[in-house]
Structure 1
Amino acid sequence: MAGTPARAGVVNTRDAILRATLRVVGEQGVGGLTNRRIVAAAGVSLGTLTYHFPSQTELLREAMLLFAEEETAKLATIVDGYRADDLSLEQAATVVEQVIEQLPFGTDELAPHELYLQAARDPGLREASRRCFAAYDELATTILGALGLPDPARLAAPVVALIAGLQLRRLATGADVPAAEPLMMLLHRD
C-alpha cells in the first residue's frame, strides 16, 4: 500500500502529459508539437516529459490510445443509454446523427485526425491507429448486432468509415452534415 500514492502520481503525470499532447496537437498540428509546448501545457518539467516518453512516436502512440479508450467509453455509454429502448434501424440512425451534431467543434476533435494522418507518415504509430479503429469497429459491431442486422462485423468498418468521413467533412467545412440518410443508404443496400 505504501507505493500506491506514488504510483497514482505517475499515472496522473503521464495522463497530464498525454492530455497536453492532445491539446497541442489539436491546436498546432503534429508539426507544431514541441517539448516546450507540451511541458507548458502539462505543467511538468522537460525531464519529466522525457522520463515518461523517451520518443515522440511513443508519446503520440500513447496519446492516440488514450483518445481511443476515452472516445469508445463515451460512445459506449451513449449506446447503453439507448439499448433498453429497442430502437428501430431508422431511430438508431437518427440518434447517431444527433450525437454527431452534438459533438463540439474545436481542437479536441482535430487532434485525432492529426494523429491518424501522422500514422500514415509514421509506421510506428500504425499499430495504435489500428487499435483505435478496431475499438470503433467493435462498438459498431455491437450496435449493429443489437439492431438485429445480419453480419454486423462485416458492416462495421463501412459504418465507421462513413461516420468518420462525415465528421471530418463537418470539421473541415464547419457545416452540419446529415448522417441518418447516408447511414440508412449504407445499411439498406439489399
Structure 2
Amino acid sequence: MNTREAILHAALKVVGEQGVGGLTNRRIATAAGVSLGTLTYHFPSQTALLREAMLLFVEEETTKLTGFVDAYREQGLSVEQAASVVEQVIAQLPFGTDELGAHELYLQAARDPELQDAAARCFAAYDELALVILKTLGVPSPERLTGPVVALIAGLQLRRLATGDDGVGVAQSLMMLVRGAS
C-alpha cells in the first residue's frame, strides 16, 4: 500500500471511529503513520480527502464483490441460491470502523455538494454490480431492479450496523423484491 492509500484508509478509520466531525489532519496523519506535511501534500483539502476515500472504498468493495459474482456466475445460480449467497456475503462483511466510515461519508455527501459526485459514482458502481448479478440470474427487466436492490442491501446494512443484527433476512427480502417485480 502506498502513502496515498494509507492516508485514505486512515481517513476511513478515523471517520468510522470519530465521525466526520472528528476528522482532523493530526488524527489522520497519526493513524496513517505520516507527517502532517505529507498529508497536506497529497490532499490539500479535507473535501478532496473525503472524496478520494469514498472512491477508494467503493473501488475496493466493488472489486471484492465482483470476485464473488464471477465465482458464482458460471454455476448458474437460481434466485434463491443467489439471495442466500448475498446473505452469506453480508454476514461476512467487516463489522467495524471501515464500514461505519463509508456510511458516514455518504451522510456527509448529503450535506456537502462537493462530495455528491463521488457518492453518485459509488452508487453507480453498486448499481452496475447489481445489474450484472440480476442479468446473470436471468431476471426480466433487471434495469428496473438495480436501484431497489442496492437500496435494500444498503438499508439492511445500515440497520445491521445500528442494531448489531446479524443480517438474517436479507435473502428473504431480496427474493420478495425480485419475485414481486417479475
Residue in structure 2 matching 1:60, options 50, 58, 66? 50
- Spell out the pairing of 1:120-159 with structure 2 (5 A cutoff): 120-159=110-149
Cα offset for 1:104? 2.6
The residue that corresponds to 1:175 in the other structure is 165
- Structure 1 segments, 4+ long, off by >4 Å, are none
Residue 60 of structure 1 aligns to a residue whose secondary structure is: helix
SS of corresponding position for 1:87: coil
Which residue is 1:28 aligned to? 18
Residue-pair matches, total = 180
Tell me how far apart the structure 2 counterparts of residues 140 and 133 of structure 1 sit (CA, whole Å). 10
Counterparts of 1:103 and 1:54, CA distance in 2 = 32
Alignment match of 1:184 (pick from 163, 175, 182): 175
Establish whether residue 97 from structure 1 lines up as the match of residue 87 from structure 2.
yes
1:83 corresponds to 2:73: yes
Match of 1:161 among 151, 167, 174: 151
Give the TM-score taking structure 2 as reference length. 0.96
Q: 1:102: Cα distance to partner?
A: 1.3
Gapped regions of structure 2 (runs ≥ 5): none
Question: How far apart in 2 are the matches of 1:141 and 1:104?
Answer: 24
Alignment partner of 2:106 out of 116, 131, 134: 116
Gaps of 5+ in 1: 1-10
| Deviation of 1:150 (Å) | 1.3
Matched, 1:106 2:103: no
1:76: Cα distance to partner?
0.3
Are 1:19 and 2:12 matched, yes or no?
no
With normalisation by structure 1, the TM-score equals 0.92
> Percent identity among equivalent residues?
74
Q: Distance in 1 between matches of 2:93 and 2:5?
A: 23
Larger radius of gyration: 1
- Other structure's SS at 1:105 match: coil
